[in-house]
Each structure stands twice: as C-alpha cells, then as structure tokens.
C-alpha cells in the first residue's frame, strides 16, 4: 500500500514539474511549430479542419484553420447576396502563414475591393485556399472538389515556378510521396500509376493522429518534444552528409542551384515535361472555371531576386545562374496566357517598383535568412493592393460591377 502511495506522490510531483515547465515556456513565450496538417486520400494531405498552432519557421504567428480546412476565418458556404467572391488557390505564398490573418494579401485585397464596391452596395470576400507545399496537381483537385461550393465569381491561381518542378516525380520524389501526380496520356491528364495504386488511409488511425495533433498543439511542452523528434529524424541524414567527402556532397548544392536555375528559366530541356503537365493543368483549371461561370486568372508571384531593392545583388544572381533574364518565367506565362485566353498578371514589376522606391525588402520574416523566404507583411500588403488594382482594371466582372451594370443583380 505504501508503495502505491509513494508511487502516486512521485507521479504527482512529476506532474507538478511538467506543469512548471509548461508554465515557464508559456511565460517566456517560447513556442514551437504546431502541426496543422492531416493526411487525406484525395490530395495526399491538407490543412486539418479547426487546427490551431504556432507557425515558427519564418515568423511567430498563431495560425488557425477554419472548419473547412482553410487558413481563413469561418465562411458561409453559400455566397451571401451582393458579394464578390474571389477564390485564391496556391501553395505557401497563398497560405501566407508568415503573417497574421489580417495581414495576408487576401485580407488586403478583400478590403481594397470592398472599398471599391461599397458605393454599389457590394462587398468582397477573398477566400484563401492555399496550402503550403501544394503542387499544381493538388491545387487542381482543390479547385475541382473544394472551391465550387463557395460559388466564387473569380478564381485566381497564384503561380510560382518552383511547384512546376513538382508536377513530375523525378525532381523531388521524397516530397511527393503520398501526393497525387498527373501524367499526360493522349493529351489528357490522368493520375499516374503510383497515384492510382496508393492504398486508402486507415480512417481510424487518421482520426487518432488528428486528435493527437490537436492535443499536442495545446501544449508548448508537447510541441517542443515534437520539434525535437523532427530534429532527431533529420540528425542521422545530416550526420551522414557531414562525413561524406566534399565531392560526394557536391550534388546537393548542385541540386539547389539547378532547382533555382530551373525556377528562373522555363526553357531548360530537363524541365519541359514538367512545364507541359503544369500547362495542361492550367488549361484544365480554366475549363473548369468556365464550366462554373467564373473568371480564371493566373497571378504570377515574384521570385525574391526579381524584387530585391539591391540591384547589384539582382545582377550578380543573374550572372551566377547564367540566366538570360530574371523575368523569363513571367514572359513565358504571359505568352501562354495570351495563347489560351487566360488573363495573366505578373507581380514582379509592381513589387519591384515599390521595393526600389521605398528601399525595402518584401521577402523575409524575422526567423528566415536575411531578406529571403516568403512575403513579409509589407510584401503581402503590396501583393494585395496590386492584385485588387489589377482586378479593378481588367476583370470583366469587377468592371461591370463597378460601372453599375451588375449592381442590381446578385449574381
């Protein structure tokens, strides 16, 4: 009996120590990356509905996912009357987890468009469907199966060139494990053999996993242990790489520079298959939008070297990568858009103008490497203003709405 009493008291003391450590971390505001994802059969993974946790990779932001798995506030499914709905699909830039919800470019766009439409008695609702790490295949599935119930009048694909390389499996095979990939068969997009043969997930296991992640996010100590688990997982490969001879480690740096080269240059032969699949997906997206009576836009995210206010750094980068131009991808996509009748808007020019005139960096949050990474708060604000302005100028729907032609309708 005494044994159990002592054991219980020791367990209580341990609990008190755990409480003290949790309290210390909370008091010191030291938190770690939360888990916001869930595995799913259709897209491989997605944001976990109602998940909430800290995002610490590039900035310290508390991110909340709504009940439909979007990094957004709760949205009514049916479009409210006199509301312009814009759905933005994309990956990490769209998700904008480096800034608070109010600072995302979608929020800025929403405010700008609402201001513009206020006089006509309309408001704007910009929905964030971005999921970090998504490929165009996953974004296509998002459009097909998740966007339409919200009845948007405009769909924007936020394009960046890096995910183009992920439309095929050969560049980043490990990252695409479990994710759907399309191939072209007789000019049509079909899931590849791996996607077709992937077994469905064990539903019970997923429920348990998701609940555990939700509980983990509530405790700073648990997220610390999870962060350590991730580091331990990375430790062994890092150790192996460290002991390899310099010649053996060379390919990884070559791979990085090659990925950068491919991201800036759409004409390199090794990426042509990826580009043709990506373009087929964009065409399919456009057709899907037209079927649903929505405008389809491609907005080209800038690449950080295009908008750095340091012109010498731009030039040095271009030289080091042996690139004909930093805008080659933008030009390529503009040609593609013109040929397919898709409005394409490149952000690089307005963002570069802003960065140069204000001598400011639009990329790079406090925890990322200097001036690199995703858009910071200033970057998001400028992106939001630029897209809203472009829609006001070029979107048929917004122009008709602004001019009063559609004001009486609740389309």
Residue 231 C-beta: closest distance to other proteins, Å: 4
Closer Cβ to other proteins, 65 or 365, answer by number: 365
Instruction: Using the minimum distance from each CB to other proteins, give the nearer residue, 237 or 269.
Output: 237
Burial class (CB in 10 A: 0-12, 13-18, 19+), 142: buried
HSE-up of residue 280 (Cα within 13 Å, Cβ side): 20
Q: Which two tokens stand for residue 307?
A: 């908008």
Q: Annotate 147-192 with DSSP letters as a single string.
A: IGGG--SEEEEEE-SGGGGGGSSSS-TTTTTTS--EEEETTEEEE-
Choose the binding region for other proteins from 94-102, 141-149, 227-235, 318-326 (rule: CB under 8 A): 227-235
Task: Output the smallest distance, CB 371 to other proteins, in A.
Answer: 12
Q: Which two tokens stand for residue 58?
A: 């590039």
CA angle 228, 234, 240 (to 5 degrees): 140
Q: Tell me how far apart the alpha carbons of residues 262 and 300 are, in angstroms, rounded to a whole number.
A: 16
For the bound state, the minimum distance from the C-beta of residue 354 to other proteins, rounded and expressed in Å, comes to: 21
Q: Is 227 in the site for other proteins (CB under 8 A)?
A: yes
Q: What is the footprint of other proteins within residues 45-84 (CB under 8 A)? A: 59-60
Q: Which is nearer to other proteins, 232 or 408 (CB)?
A: 232
Q: How many residues bind other proteins (CB under 8 A)?
A: 32
Annotate each residue in 236-255 with x if it binds other proteins (CB under 8 A) or - if it does not, as one string: --xx----------------
The first and second tokens of residue 285, run together, are 């997206």
Residue closer to other proteins by CB (options 17, 313) is 17
Give CA–CA dist 36/179, Å, rounded.
17
Residues that bind other proteins (CB under 8 A): 2, 5-7, 9-11, 13-14, 17-18, 21, 28-30, 32, 59-60, 221, 224-225, 227-228, 231-232, 234-235, 238-239, 365-367
């Amino acid at each position: 009996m005494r044994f159990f009493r002592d054991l219980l008291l020791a367990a209580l003391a341990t609990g008190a120590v755990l409480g003290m450590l949790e309290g210390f971390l909370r008091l010191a505001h030291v938190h770690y990356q939360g888990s916001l994802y869930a595995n799913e059969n259709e897209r491989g993974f997605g944001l976990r509905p109602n998940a909430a946790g800290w995002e610490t990779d590039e900035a310290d932001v508390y991110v909340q996912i709504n009940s439909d798995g979007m990094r957004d506030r709760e949205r009514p499914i049916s479009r409210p009357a006199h509301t312009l709905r814009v759905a933005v699909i994309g990956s990490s830039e769209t998700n904008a987890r480096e800034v608070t919800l109010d600072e995302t470019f979608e929020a800025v766009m929403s405010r700008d468009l609402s201001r513009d439409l206020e006089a006509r008695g309309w408001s704007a609702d910009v929905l964030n469907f971005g999921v970090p790490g998504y490929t165009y295949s996953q974004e296509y599935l998002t459009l097909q199966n998740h966007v339409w119930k919200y009845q948007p009048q405009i769909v924007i694909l936020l394009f960046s060139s890096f995910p183009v390389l992920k439309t095929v499996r050969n560049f980043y095979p490990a990252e695409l494990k479990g994710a759907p990939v399309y191939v072209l068969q007789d000019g049509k997009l079909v899931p590849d053999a791996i996607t077709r043969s992937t077994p469905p997930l064990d539903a019970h296991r997923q429920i348990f996993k998701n609940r555990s992640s939700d509980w983990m996010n509530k405790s700073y100590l648990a997220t610390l242990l999870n962060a350590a688990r991730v580091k331990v997982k990375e430790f062994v490969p890092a150790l192996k790489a460290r002991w390899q001879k310099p010649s053996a480690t060379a390919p990884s740096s070559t791979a990085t520079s090659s990925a950068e080269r491919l991201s800036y240059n759409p004409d390199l032969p090794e990426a042509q298959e990826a580009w043709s699949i990506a373009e087929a997906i964009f065409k399919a997206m456009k057709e899907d939008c037209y079927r649903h009576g929505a405008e389809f836009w491609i907005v080209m995210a800038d690449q950080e070297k295009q908008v750095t206010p340091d012109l010498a750094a731009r030039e040095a980068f271009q030289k080091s990568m042996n690139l004909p131009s930093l805008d080659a991808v933008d030009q390529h996509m503009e040609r593609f858009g013109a040929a397919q009748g898709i409005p394409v808007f490149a952000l690089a020019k307005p963002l570069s103008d802003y960065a140069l005139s204000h001598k400011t960096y639009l990329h790079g949050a406090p925890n990322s490497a200097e001036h690199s990474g995703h858009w910071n708060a200033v970057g998001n604000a400028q992106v939001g203003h630029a897209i809203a302005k472009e829609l006001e100028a070029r979107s048929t729907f917004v122009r008709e709405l602004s001019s009063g032609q559609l004001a009486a309708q609740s389309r």
